[in-house]
Amino acid sequence: MTSGEASPTLTVTIPRLNRHPSWVHFLASVTRLVDAHDCARQVGAPQVIAPSEQRPGLDSGVFPTVAWRLLEWLRDRETEGALDYTDITPFVDDIAPLFGLAATDVQYIATLLATPTLLRYADRPDAEASTFQVKSTSDTALLDKQRRGHAYRLTRVGREAIGFAGGYFKWIHASAEAQKLLIDLRNGEYLSFRSMAQRLITRIRSESLEVLRAIERPEVDEMRTIYLRDAKKFTATITEVRKVLDDVQNELLRPEVREDIDSWSAGQRAEDAVTVSDMNELIRIAFSALRTLQMRLSTFTVDVQKRDRALVGLIRFDSIAKGLFMLPDTDVRSAADYLAGVLAGAGPLLPDLVAFAPAQLERTIKIQRRHEKKPPGFRRIGVPVVVKDRLDTFVERNRALLLDMLGEGPVSLTKLMEDDRIDFQDLQYMAEAASLLVSPLIMLHDDPKMRIRIGLGDWTTWTLPDGWEMSGRELIMRYEPPGSKDGVKSKGRAA
């Protein structure tokens, strides 16, 4: 088959948990990093538009597969003992018909892998440095090509690529990865310990999140299949990791280990130092993450066995909103109550009362008095016109009579209100009459030889014109010279 004849293919979208070959994980992890390297963005450009999700190249995806297979083929030749250049013609003959390619297509891929390219990156020697350095490497070819013909061998970078892909952290390897913590601890590789612990925690958490997704998205059947199939292996790995973490914790309790860590840490820069406490904290987090993973796995298993989860797929809320508009009047009569019922279950419930605690009651149960219109005071309206207060008007009208009454003896509130000679037309409330007694200054009294004294008398009950009764202490006003011993001196003394 030639390159022009594409074989019938099936495009398969593989769910997240349905593991790809490890080299695909490796490639996926660097794709966007390579894009970052290749982007021709001007520094300081204001646009922050997301790059295209499409990639140039063939949709069939055959070339990266051929490239990886070539790397693996050459690795296999090395494993067999050939450390020299190997003619790839047998590989080309095998692979080209398999993917519907021409021999030249495969040769092109081999040439591509053997061509170096320049990779630049910026680096700061340390956190305090004010400038960064541009570093670069062109050590990027994965294959060495013999000068003539089609013979190739892996470069160091090519072997590393295979190594990186092979090092993909599978959950099943988690206990072996955890063992590295012990190895690092026993060999004084404390920085490595930190990064290994972080790697392990990330892996546990990531697995935990995947299980949660499987619980929350019951429609993702692939996840169920994988977890159910691997449930025993999965649980066994958790147990193994916990055992290793126990060992690490015990190791960290040994005095000689702690001393060694302390002395090593003292000689490090602040950002590189790893203390015993840091290590214990990392192990604690790992334990906690492991516990959560185990709980979720258990929930998931029970959930699957019950098989009674409600059908919860993707809900088209926008369609529901449109459907709501279209409800005919025959269905809508009780719609408001029904919708209110739905919202009462899932909507934002708010307190009916403003307060629940006594401390909050002050503003809610205090009687809200209607604000009476303020009596006119000395306010200025445009031009300075003085508007007199009702009390002032009252005093002005009755001042002489009041002073006469005071001259005759003490004047109580009762006496004041019962005296027919006093004109109360300016006052509207009993309180205003009382305020006259407690505020003698408004009497405008200006005789320095006399004083107006105020005092309290007995308990009294007044019957108001509208039938209401009011009780309180009698208020008594006296007019007497300063220093008079005859005045009201204490509360409660009878008038």
Partner 1 sequence: MSGLIDYERLGRVSDLLKRQRIIRSAAQEGRVRDIEIEASEILRSLRDDEREALDALLRGGGWELQEYDDAMPGVASRARVWVLIRDAETREGSPLSLEPAWLRLALRSNETRATTIYWFMFIWLQTLSFLYERINRPVSAVSEYVSGIIDRDELEERIQERLDEIRALGDRVMVAGPQEGDATERQRLPIAQTLLAGEDGHTRASDIRRRVGAFLKVMEDGFMIERIASDAGSERYRQTLLGAVQINQSYSSGLIHLVPVEQTLAEMDRRLAAETAPGDTADAA
* Residues of the shown chain interacting with partner 1 in the complex, contacts defined by CB under 8 A: 8-15, 18, 59, 205, 208-209, 212-213, 216-219, 221-222, 225, 288-289, 292, 296, 309-329, 332, 335-336, 339-353, 356-357
Q: How far is the CB of 95 from partner 1 (least distance, A)?
A: 21
Cα 168 to Cα 21: distance, rounded to the nearest angstrom: 10
Q: What residues contact 91, with CB distance under 8 A and at least 6 apart? A: 69, 70, 73, 106
Q: What residues contact 72, with CB distance under 8 A and at least 6 apart? A: 162
Nearer to partner 1, 319 or 471 (CB): 319
Nearer to partner 1, 63 or 73 (CB): 63
Nearer to partner 1, 33 or 343 (CB): 343
Q: Are 211 and 289 in contact (CB under 8 A)?
A: no
Q: Is 120 helix (H, G, I), strand (E, B) or coil?
A: strand
Q: With CA atoms as reference, report the closest residue to 66 among 30, 100, 19, 16.
A: 100
Q: Which residue has the tokens 């006469």?
A: 404
Q: Are 179 and 244 in contact (CB under 8 A)?
A: yes
Burial class of 379 by CB neighbour count within 10 A (0 to 12, 13 to 18, 19+): exposed
As beta bridge partners, residue 87 has: 151
Nearer to partner 1, 314 or 381 (CB): 314
Q: How far is the CB of 222 from partner 1 (least distance, A)?
A: 6
Nearer to partner 1, 13 or 52 (CB): 13
Q: How far is the CB of 113 from partner 1 (least distance, A)?
A: 26
Dihedral (CA of 65, 68, 74, 76) sign: negative
Nearer to partner 1, 318 or 466 (CB): 318
26: left (phi over 0), alpha (psi -120 to 50) or beta: alpha
Q: Are 109 and 66 in contact (CB under 8 A)?
A: yes
Token pair for residue 415? Answer: 């006496």
Q: Are 460 and 472 in contact (CB under 8 A)?
A: yes
Cα 286 to Cα 333: distance, rounded to the nearest angstrom: 57
Q: How far is the CB of 343 from partner 1 (least distance, A)?
A: 6
Q: How far is the CB of 359 from partner 1 (least distance, A)?
A: 11
Nearer to partner 1, 89 or 292 (CB): 292
Nearer to partner 1, 139 or 331 (CB): 331
Q: Which residue has the tokens 């409800």?
A: 327
Q: How far is the CB of 8 from partner 1 (least distance, A)?
A: 8
Q: How far is the CB of 412 from partner 1 (least distance, A)?
A: 50
Q: How far is the CB of 86 from partner 1 (least distance, A)?
A: 34
